[in-house]
Amino acid sequence: MKKDKFYEYQVESMNEFYMHFRAYRMVHIQLENLKSNTLFWTIFSNTSIKNLFIYWCRIFGNKNVNMTHWQHHLREDEIEEFRNILLSTLEMTMDEWKKYHSEMLEFRNSYVAHHDKNHRQPVPVLDKAVLLMQTYEKWIKDKLVNEGIMYIDDLYEYVNPYISELKNIINKDL
């Protein structure tokens, strides 16, 4: 895959991750307060969390199966540089990162992808997933700009119109 197409897919995945994370968080917080359509909002919330895991895993999942994995198109020194930034930002050791990464993949595999009826693992801490995505986005943005590849500033904020519209719809149901 060409480098510019690779990063275009990554940006799409980051955008979708942020949209589904923010939608999930907003609906999940209000779920008990919603007066009607609770089945709809429950399904919406569940779909959002499943999608956010799919999009997170496209970038941070398994390098061998995800064509948009963050390590593709990077030199070894760049991989090491970002890995150090990742650990520092998340305030984790490599072993803690491996454990968190494994929890994220396990949740995706057993709850999202294969719908294991015996799945009992709680949702992993999503704030870390968001922080990691934002850290990667900020780090890769400089590389994209320097290579002349288009980039949208601050994807987390880019989804604000969608989130505002969702908030208006939810407020009508409170």
Give me the pLDDT at residue 150, please: 66
Place of tokens 């020194």: 77
Give me the pLDDT at residue 18, please: 96
Place of tokens 């850290």: 135
**Mean pLDDT in each 10-residue stretch from start to end of the chain (174 residues)?**
84 95 94 86 94 97 92 93 96 97 94 80 92 94 77 83 93 86
**Which whole-number Å values give the CA distances from 140 to 69, 74, 90, 152, in the listed order?**
13, 10, 17, 12
> What is the C-alpha separation between 129 and 108, in angstroms, rounded?
13
> What is the C-alpha separation between 86 and 94, in angstroms, rounded?
10
DSSP H helices, 73-125, are 76-90, 94-107
- CA atoms within 13 Å, Cβ hemisphere of 29: 9
Residue 119's domain comprises 3-172
Total domain count, the chain: 1
> What is the C-alpha separation between 117 and 121, in angstroms, rounded?
11
